[in-house]
Amino acid sequence: MKKINILVATGLCVAVVLPSCKNSGKAPSEEEPQAVEAVQEVQAEPEANDLSRVPSHDNSAEDDKVIMEFIKEMFAQSVYTDEEFLKKHCTENMLAQLRADYDYEGEGYANWDFRSESNDGFGDNHIICIEKKEGRYYYEGNDGGTKFRNIISAFVKDGVVMFDGITRDKSYQGE
């Protein structure tokens, strides 16, 4: 049976290749474009970040330091999984995003938005770096071996760090 399949496959290859190898009698300028020319490597452009989910805030340099340290501690301790933490440190806008991103039955918060898109990886979980750009915080992390970068909106209100929106940095290429 294997021999028959091989013979059939070989016959099909010959039937496809031979017509493309024929000299059509046309001058080279009149020849139809070869399939090689039609096949081009298409590189997808990176998707644009949805910054409409992440309002910018003008924070002082002192507030920036507080927010960046808070993000590091929050991630290191995984407190973003605690509903009370979310209610205390998220604006209604952020809570609405987390509810909308929750893709299970019932109600809940998509606390995984704070992490990478991986499934509970093993290993080291920490923030690699945080930088502020245009009133938003870009934090790069290692989530159980998966590197990622998220964009988060934050400000300090009455001494409490408040998150106001979050999205993945789709332009991040990771290592």
Q: What is the pLDDT of residues 50-105, one digit of tens each?
A: 899 999 999 999 999 999 999 999 999 999 999 999 999 999 999 999 999 999 99
Could you tell me the two tokens for 25? Answer: 């009698």
Q: Give the model's pLDDT for residue 31.
A: 52
Answer whether residue 9 shows pLDDT above 50. no
Residue 72 sits in the same domain as residue 6 = no
Summarize pLDDT for 129-164 with one digit per residue, the tens.
Answer: 999 999 999 999 999 888 999 999 999 999 999 999
Answer whether residue 16 shows pLDDT above 50. no
Residue 101 CB partners (closer than 8 Å, separation 6+): 110, 113
Residue 117: pLDDT band (50, 70, 90) is confident
Residue 44 domain flag: no
CATH code: domain of residue 71: 3.10.450
Could you tell me the two tokens for 63? Answer: 């507030």
pTM of this structure: 0.72
User: Phi and psi of 126, rounded to 5°?
Assistant: -160, 165
* Domain that includes residue 20, residue range: 2-38
11 by Cβ neighbours in 10 Å (0-12 / 13-18 / 19+) ranks as: exposed
Domain count, the chain: 2
Residue 175: pLDDT band (50, 70, 90) is low
Residue 162 domain flag: yes
Q: Give the model's pLDDT for residue 102.
A: 95
Residue 90 sits in the same domain as residue 143 = yes
Give 106's strand partners: none
Residue 119 domain flag: yes
Summarize pLDDT for 21-39 with one digit per residue, the tens.
Answer: 444 454 545 555 544 444 4
